[in-house]
């Protein structure tokens, strides 16, 4: 067995097989896999536990993750009925979504914003964590744990879990610890401010720590690194014209903000969500703005490329949401990215205090928005979860400029993404924001609900603008002269979505 990654004599004595590690996990336990995105998942231990289930043994656990895990956990554990409840975020794997949307007998998906989970763990709100499955890249001679690619809630879980199983993947990047900034906030009350005033600030350590007495064992594995399909790069070059127009509209908006003195020529740090739109917008911004920095939750391949090309100076992130040549280069040569790339815990990347202090420009995708500025970013037709809120609410409520992108329609025009009333609301109208489609920018700042309607109708698809305006006019009339702060037709709140469900389109038939 290759023990080269374990320099500590104490931890060398704790090496066990994946099957031995899995034997410590019992039916009904709460298990945490605290990593952020699939690179860091403890695959061998997870597969060994699945093997026990496949022999007929009853194993059902409560799973606390940080984002998508390896398919062995998200797909195979789910399909085998091994997950009783899951939190806080899912997007990559269809089995988790399908089970979460099952009326009876599926897993219980608890959709909490990402920044809350570490606090909930420390406070005991989620109950005891019986076992933490933690993937690392190695152990130093003095017993420090080398982080692998992503951070998640790892240090919090190492501190709070009753017992810990460590898994070292020999194919992980042993030098990635150089890019990590591991930091745990002080206890409450009396917590000191998090000392970040610039995206580039280093405030912690390169290593995790863990009491050896709580470590049940260390598993050595040699598994190919896996990245979830949802994060494979959809580059700006592949973007359709409508997406490129969204990017141009947004850049034009930023240029106006600078010209009118509301923003400096050097932009505040940027946060982005995932997908083609975010990558396309970043690429367009790189053509017009210099010295860009990012303070974000997950970083895309386009952003990684832009660091390597020099159009982005620095990225602070909680994890890599990408897989491509640049990411491979970073994993093989992390030392070349010191001072350009930093990996922080999710609690710090998504921390409301830090987000507000830095004045971020945040850019996230949405499912739909209504004419008053309420936003649905997680559900289809109000009932079926796509992913979860993730960090969207952390950024919506605290960013200097929260911005949202959507095409004006979906399903080849059958669905309008600007609607009279959202079928589910994640972000309310009380977080003034910018919403961008291929038809323009709706600036909802400094506007009452009635004033926002014109902005939202203007960026809707032309086929739906008359319908939206007609709805608003009737709603305003029906409210009467003294009940019209936010005009709605209660009897029609779900009418557009019902029409789409029954007829396949939100468009009215002639």
Enzyme catalytic residues: 297
**Integer Cα distance of 121 and 104 in angstroms:** 28
* 298 to 115, 203, 302: CA distances (angstroms): 13, 20, 12
- Taking the C-alpha atoms of residue 133 and residue 154, their distance in angstroms, rounded to an integer, is 10
Q: Which helix H or strand E contains 403, and what residues bound it? A: strand 401-405
Structure tokens at 238: 């592949």
Q: At what angle do helices 276-288 and 301-309 cross, to 10 degrees?
A: 20
Is the C-alpha dihedral spanning 394, 396, 401, 403 positive or negative?
positive
Taking residue 395's Cβ as centre, other Cβ atoms within 10 Å add up to: 29
Q: Are strands 108-109 and 83-87 parallel, antiparallel or unpaired?
A: parallel
Euclidean distance between CA atoms 96 and 76, whole angstroms: 10
For CA atoms 283, 288, 291, 293, give the dihedral sign: negative
Residue 156 burial class via C-beta count within 10 angstroms: exposed 0-12, middle 13-18, buried 19 and up: buried
Q: 246: number of CA atoms within 13 Å, CB side?
A: 27
**Pair 316, 351: CB distance under 8 Å:** no
User: Is 362 within 8 Å of 396 (Cβ atoms)?
Assistant: yes
Cβ burial, residue 346 (10 Å; 0-12/13-18/19+): buried
Which helix (DSSP H) or strand (DSSP E) does residue 401 occupy?
strand 401-405
């Amino acid at each position: 067995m290759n023990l080269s990654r374990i320099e500590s004599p104490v931890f060398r004595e704790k090496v066990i097989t994946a099957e031995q590690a899995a034997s410590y996990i019992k039916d009904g336990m709460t298990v945490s896999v605290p990593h952020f995105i699939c690179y860091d998942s403890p695959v061998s231990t997870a597969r060994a536990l699945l093997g026990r289930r496949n022999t007929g043994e009853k194993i059902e656990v409560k799973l606390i993750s940080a984002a998508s895990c390896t398919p062995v956990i998200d797909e195979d554990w789910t399909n085998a009925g091994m997950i009783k409840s899951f939190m806080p975020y899912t997007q990559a794997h269809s089995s988790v979504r399908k089970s979460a949307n099952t009326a009876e007998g599926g897993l219980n998906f608890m959709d909490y914003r990402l920044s809350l989970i570490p606090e909930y763990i420390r406070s005991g709100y989620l109950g005891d964590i019986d076992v933490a499955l933690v993937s690392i890249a190695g152990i130093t001679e003095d017993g420090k744990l080398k982080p692998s690619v992503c951070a998640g809630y790892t240090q919090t879980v190492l501190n709070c879990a009753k017992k810990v199983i460590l898994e070292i993947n020999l194919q992980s990047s042993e030098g990635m610890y150089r890019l990590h900034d591991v930091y745990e906030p002080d206890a409450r009350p009396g917590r000191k401010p998090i000392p970040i005033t610039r995206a580039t600030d280093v405030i912690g350590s390169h290593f995790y720590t863990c009491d050896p007495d709580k470590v049940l064992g260390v598993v050595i594995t040699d598994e190919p690194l896996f990245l979830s399909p949802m994060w494979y790069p959809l580059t700006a070059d592949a973007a359709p014209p409508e997406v490129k127009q969204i990017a141009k509209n947004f850049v034009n908006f930023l240029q106006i903000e600078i010209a009118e003195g509301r923003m400096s020529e050097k932009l505040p740090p940027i946060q982005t969500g995932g997908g083609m739109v975010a990558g396309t917008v970043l690429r367009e911004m790189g053509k017009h703005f210099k010295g860009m920095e990012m303070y974000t939750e997950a970083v895309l391949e386009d952003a990684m490329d832009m660091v390597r090309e020099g159009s982005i100076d620095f990225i602070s992130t909680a994890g890599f949401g990408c897989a491509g040549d640049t990411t491979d280069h970073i994993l093989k040569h992390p030392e070349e990215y010191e001072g350009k790339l930093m990996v922080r815990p999710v609690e710090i990347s998504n921390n409301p205090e830090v987000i507000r202090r830095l004045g971020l420009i945040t850019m996230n995708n949405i499912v739909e928005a209504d004419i008053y500025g309420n936003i649905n970013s997680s559900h289809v037709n109000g009932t079926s979860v796509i992913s979860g809120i993730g960090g969207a609410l952390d950024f919506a409520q605290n960013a200097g400029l929260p911005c949202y992108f959507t095409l004006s329609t979906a399903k080849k025009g059958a669905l309008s993404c600007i609607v009279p009333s959202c079928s589910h609301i994640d972000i309310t109208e009380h977080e003034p924001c910018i919403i961008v489609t291929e038809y323009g920018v709706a600036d909802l700042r400094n506007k009452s609900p009635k004033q926002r309607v014109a902005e939202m109708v203007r960026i809707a698809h032309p086929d739906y603008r008359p319908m939206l305006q007609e709805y608003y006019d009737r709603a305003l009339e029906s409210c009467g002269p003294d009940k019209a702060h936010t005009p709605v037709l209660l009897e029609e709140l779900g009418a557009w979505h019902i029409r789409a469900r029954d007829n396949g389109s939100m468009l009215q038939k002639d």
